[in-house]
Amino acid sequence: MIKIKYQIPGFLAGFIALFLGFVFTGCIGGGGEDVAVDPSGQYLLAPPDGSTPGSGTDDPDPISAEGCSSSDPNHMCIGIKFVVYKDANENPVMTREEASSLIAKVNGLWQQCNIAFQIDEYQAVNPVAYGLTYSSGAQSQTTQIRSTFSNNTTFLVVVTGPWSSSYIAWTAMPGSVPYGVVACAEYGDDRVTIAHELGHYLGLDHHSTQTNLLYYIAYPTSTALTATQCSAARNTTMDYWQQMLR
Ligand SMILES: [Zn+2]
């Protein structure tokens, strides 16, 4: 995968990205703006400037990540394989309980579309055993990571070690295999980051409104989804992910 970084103003980057027909996102940080144009069509997400990962108001009644199927015929419950990296001391970057708590909060956000996720499988892996790199090198292994852990019956979410990068997460859009979300440890437990990436998994493009979940920066307050987005996400699920429904 080729990734090109520019140091140019956001509006100009947007214009260029539109002109080139590429998908882009970026981040505000350090007085400048990094914008990545990714010819492969994969999405990367930038961290919010000055916001603490995981901060923001949680929904009062998050939906359990331990089983989201429902008798409601309009409810969609999608199974996830949640893979976390273990560091050199065999400590996973997220425990099973932390992953479950995260997905419950993600469900609180996706509730507005009547879509929820459950963790069907949690796996804490030593990346080295798979020929993968624990920390920042993981950024260049997103395809390899997805190929290693993805399957045809669950969504894949992989949280690696820390990246210390301008980018915090990647997701391939439907139609661009291999599938999966790959996030860095710093933001792997951030509900907006993971809910945003699952939005890409569900076929949603970026949205221009800062309060929208698909805004290209993961602010804690970027949580809204429109009726149009909900409809698109549901349609994508029926078109691509019926095997993942529970
Ligand atoms: Zn994104």
List the chain domain ranges. Answer: 1-41, 59-244
80 Cα to the center of ligand 1, angstroms? 19
Cα dihedral sign for 195, 196, 197, 200? positive
pLDDT of residue 14: 39
Report the separation in Å between the CA atom of 216 and the middle of ligand 1, taken as the mean of its atom positions.
5
Residue 80: pLDDT above 90? Answer: yes
pLDDT in tens, 116-172: 999 999 999 999 999 999 998 898 999 999 999 999 999 999 999 999 888 889 898
Q: Tell whether the model's pLDDT for residue 193 goes beyond 50.
A: yes
Alpha carbon distance 111, 58 (integer Å): 13
CA 210 / ligand 1 centre spacing (Å): 12
Maximal C-alpha separation, the chain: 50
- Among 70-79, 93-102, 169-178, 208-217, the range scoring the smallest mean pLDDT is 169-178
Stronger pLDDT, 104 or 37, i.e. the higher one:
104
The domain over range 59-244 is classified in CATH as 3.40.50.1370: no
CA distance 140 to 148: 14
Q: What CA–CA distance (Å, rounded) separates 196 from 2? A: 23
Ligand 1 center to residue 197 CA distance, Å?
6
Distance 79 CA to ligand 1 centre (A): 21
pTM of the complete model: 0.80
For residue 168, report the distance from its CA to the centre of ligand 1, in Å: 10
Q: 57 CA distance to ligand 1 centroid (A)?
A: 21
As given in the structure block, the two tokens for residue 5 are 């970084």
What are 13-64's pLDDT values in tens digits? 333 333 332 233 322 222 222 223 333 444 567 666 655 555 455 555 667 8
pLDDT of residue 176: 84
pLDDT of residue 192: 94
Q: Per DSSP, what are the bridge partners of residue 157?
A: 82, 181
Query: Cβ(201)–Cβ(178) under 8 Å?
Result: no
% pLDDT > 90, the chain: 62
Q: What is the pLDDT of residue 205?
A: 93
CA–centroid distance, residue 69 to ligand 1 (Å): 27
- Ligand 1 centroid–CA 44 distance in Å is 5
CA of 67 to the centre of ligand 1 (A): 26
What percent of the chain shows pLDDT beyond 70?
75
Q: Residue 134 C-alpha to ligand 1 middle, in angstroms?
A: 23
